[in-house]
Amino acid sequence: MNMLEDAQYKEITDAEVTEALTDGIRQIGNCLNAFGNAFPYACSVNRFYEPGPNRNWTAGFYTGEVWLAYENADLAGPFSKDFFKVKAEAQVRSFLQRINDKNDVDHHDMGFLYSPSCVAAYKLTGSREGRQAALLAADQLITRFQPVGKFIQAWGRMGEADNYRFIIDCLLNLPLLYWASEESKDSKYRDIAEQHIHTAMANVIREDDSTWHTVYMDMNTGKFSHGATCQGYKDGSAWARGQAWGVYGTAVAYKYTHQKEYLSYFKRVTNYFLQHLPSDLRPFWDLSFGNGMEEQEPRDTSSAAIAACGMLEMSKYLRENGEEDEAVRYTSYAKKLLKALYDHDRVTDPHMSNGVLLHGTYSKKSPYNTCTPEGVDECVIWGDYYWMEALNRLHNPGWNIYW
Ligand code: GLY
């Protein structure tokens, strides 16, 4: 039996969703007032974000939060819908400038940057600037396609041997390409997305249903070369956020391709994630750590928020496929993860933090990984965003997703 079936685990209630969403919107409104047109950095320091320029792979999550606040502004007390719209539109202009200037866009994270900011702007308000920026970002993203191996190269100079790899996170960059094909009526974006999805699905899931963070492809044969971690504990372990990107990533892969086997890939990756949670349901930063490690290892609450969004998204398609019981089950698991975050990790008072969700981990150094350490046991801006997205999904079940 899945641990989450145990009666001790409760689902987040509608009243708790409304309360947490309201608190989150207040935090976002306060941050907008304090930061002006600046963006929070990827992670907080001692629970407080510093303002800075539009940079890194993470700025889009902040604008995404502002759009979620805009969509739920009736809950927001002193902040009006128009307040959030004006602020979000200023940020969209900054994204247009960033892609026009090609400022810090030579990597694969165009979807993380441009879906929750500019695609959202276009979907919600018909923003021409948002549309233009997102199409340019899609053009930028497809420049990273590697035909030998059929994948989008994540990082570094194109074709470099030590960068000839994709990473599991990239599945969330691909909705931008589907959107671009739909808008431009040019199938080239979707064709590349589909080739990448196929390569990722064939190579990223290991036999035990855990996932590789990064996958190197052979530059000559185009076949799988080897897997490696960057931000996980070690190569064979399951980085919690990578597994969570796999949960949401398989859900969006199914959304866009309707490949039946992706339903089962989703279940494998998700079940592994759920079965490797500690008993309070708040993931350690790597799923190889379990109960008893509370003093030694930090959590990554952003992983739980991402996985919850993925489960809520896939529940729609499970239902469409006649798997009603599975849809109900994964929806319930998502609500239980969110209840754990509600009880332990949300910011309830602006004096605690200027973020929304506590106890995320960006990159923790281990003796075996290659990451640059930062943001350990802090707010992380995508954790805030996905927590808000998950709450919004429950509050507005017909929500038109930004991805
Ligand atoms: N996509 C980078 C990360 O999850 O840290």
DSSP letters spanning 192-252: HHHHHHHHHHHHSB-TTS-B-SEEEE-TTT-SEEEEE-SSSSSTTS-BHHHHHHHHHHHHH
**According to the model, what pLDDT value does residue 77 have?**
77
Helix (H, G, I), strand (E, B) or coil at 312: helix
CB 120 within 8 A of CB 402: yes
The DSSP secondary-structure symbol of 109 reads T
Pick from 110, 245, 365, 370 the residue to mutate for probing ligand 1's pocket: most ligand atoms within 8 Å of its CB: 245
For residue 112, the ligand 1 atom closest to its alpha carbon is 1
Q: Rounded to the nearest whole angstrom, what is the distance from the C-alpha of residue 169 to the centroid of ligand 1? A: 7
Q: Rounded to the nearest whole angstrom, what is the distance from the C-alpha of residue 335 to the centroid of ligand 1? A: 23
Task: Let me know if 6 is exposed, middle or buried by CB neighbors in 10 A (0-12, 13-18, 19+).
Answer: exposed
CB 85 within 8 A of CB 107: no
Q: 82, 101, 109, 208: which one is catalytic?
A: 109
List all residues whose CB is within 6 A of at least one atom of ligand 1. Answer: 169, 231, 241
**According to the model, what pLDDT value does residue 2 have?**
83
For residue 241, the ligand 1 atom closest to its alpha carbon is 4
SS (H, E, C) 83-105: HHHHHHHHHHHHHHHHHHHCCCC
**What is the C-alpha separation between 263 and 247, in angstroms, rounded?**
11
Q: Rounded to the nearest whole angstrom, what is the distance from the C-alpha of residue 187 to the centroid of ligand 1? A: 28
Is 235 a known active-site residue? Answer: no
**According to the model, what pLDDT value does residue 344 have?**
98
Q: Rounded to the nearest whole angstrom, what is the distance from the C-alpha of residue 58 to the centroid of ligand 1? A: 9
Output the residue whose Cα is nearest ligand 1's atom 1: 169
Q: Rounded to the nearest whole angstrom, what is the distance from the C-alpha of residue 112 to the centroid of ligand 1? A: 10
Q: 23, 169, 209, 300: which one is catalytic?
A: 169
CB 376 within 8 A of CB 364: yes
For residue 302, the ligand 1 atom closest to its alpha carbon is 4
Output the residue whose Cα is nearest ligand 1's atom 2: 169
Is 109 a known active-site residue? Answer: yes
pLDDT in tens, the chain (403 residues): 589 999 999 999 999 999 999 999 999 999 999 999 999 999 999 999 999 999 999 999 999 999 999 999 999 778 999 999 999 999 999 999 999 999 999 999 999 999 999 999 999 999 999 999 999 999 999 999 999 999 999 999 999 999 999 999 999 999 999 999 999 999 999 999 999 999 999 999 999 999 999 999 999 999 999 999 999 999 999 999 999 999 999 999 999 999 999 999 999 999 999 999 999 999 999 999 999 999 999 999 999 999 999 999 999 999 999 999 999 999 999 999 999 999 999 999 999 999 999 999 999 999 999 999 999 999 999 999 999 999 999 999 999 999 9
Only one residue has tokens 């879906």, namely: 115
Instruction: Give residues with Cβ within 8 angstroms of 402, minimum separation 6.
Output: 64, 67, 115, 116, 119, 120, 123
**According to the model, what pLDDT value does residue 352 have?**
97
**According to the model, what pLDDT value does residue 1 have?**
58
Only one residue has tokens 């200023």, namely: 90
For residue 167, the ligand 1 atom closest to its alpha carbon is 1
